A and B are shown apart, each in its own frame.
Chain A
Amino acid sequence: NAGVTQTPKFQVLKTGQSMTLQCAQDMNHNSMYWYRQDPGMGLRLIYYSASEGTTDKGEVPNGYNVSRLNKREFSLRLESAAPSQTSVYFCASRAPGTSGYNEQFFGPGTRLTVL
């Protein structure tokens, strides 16, 4: 099993350009998440999807959209990139929980720079 995969690994954009970050998991998990990681800020939740067909906003959703294409795939789109969106983006998926036990598995990340 590959676990959680993300593409691309690195990306440089100019202000105003758009792009989509791709994420896929092969663990048959229901829930998937997008985080951004900035120095000294830890991980902040952008959007999440509790199950196929549903998405919800996290802490920092402004400037982003998501699509839960199917159970495996959860993409993050920047419609008009801004320098403030320079960050490392992580996708995660959640193992099925029993009694509310929640473990998330993380992808390797996408390093995005917006000039």
Chain B
Amino acid sequence: AQSVTQLDSQVPVFEEAPVELRCNYSSSVSVYLFWYVQYPNQGLQLLLKYLSGSTLVKGINGFEAEFNKSQTSFHLRKPSVHISDTAEYFCAVSGRGSTLGRLYFGRGTQLTVWP
């Protein structure tokens, strides 16, 4: 099985500052990694995903994440945040070759961007 740890439950930042949301995973098999975003009172939306190849993955809204196999991490970054980035962010992992398609989620990080 897999598990995900999001190290920060809340991250407050000022507008236009850079941000990093941390994610570490544990798995006995190779994995696919995902970041989802949840805006207030909405469902989850895929932000970006790592399947294979380049370890730096670019997603929507200017976000990017870097897969580090040796550190089992998949941290999410944005060089300059906007107030509209205020949301909850979830890191998730799935085992490669999983025919059942199960995703294992972290507990989430609430990003709050202040003016």
Contact = CB atoms under 8 A, between A and B. Distances in A.
Contact of A48 (B9, B34, B90, B102): B102
A61 to B, nearest CB: 14
A100 B96 contact: yes
Interface string B11-49: 000000000000000000000101010000011111001
A102 B101 contact: yes
Most chain B Cβ neighbours within 10 Å, of A4, A97, A102, A107: A102
A90 B105 contact: no
23 contacts: A42-B6, A42-B90, A42-B105, A42-B106, A42-B107, A42-B108, A43-B44, A48-B101, A48-B102, A50-B100, A50-B101, A56-B100, A99-B96, A99-B97, A100-B32, A100-B95, A100-B97, A101-B51, A102-B98, A104-B103, A106-B45, A107-B43, A109-B43
B90 A102 contact: no
Interface in A74-115: 90, 92, 94, 97, 99-109
Contacts of A103: 34, 46, 49
Interface of A: 4, 31, 33, 40-45, 48, 50, 56, 58, 90, 92, 94, 97, 99-109
B94 interface: yes
Classify the interface of chain B: helix, strand, loop or mixed.
loop
Contact of A40 (B36, B42, B102, B107): B107
Contacts of B46: 103, 105
Contacts, number: 65
Contacts of A106: 36, 43-45
Interface residues of B, number: 27
Interface of B: 6, 9, 32, 34, 36, 42-46, 49, 51, 90, 94-103, 105-108
Most chain A Cβ neighbours within 10 Å, of B44, B95, B101, B108: B101
A94 B101 contact: yes
A58 B102 CA distance: 9
Contacts of B106: 42
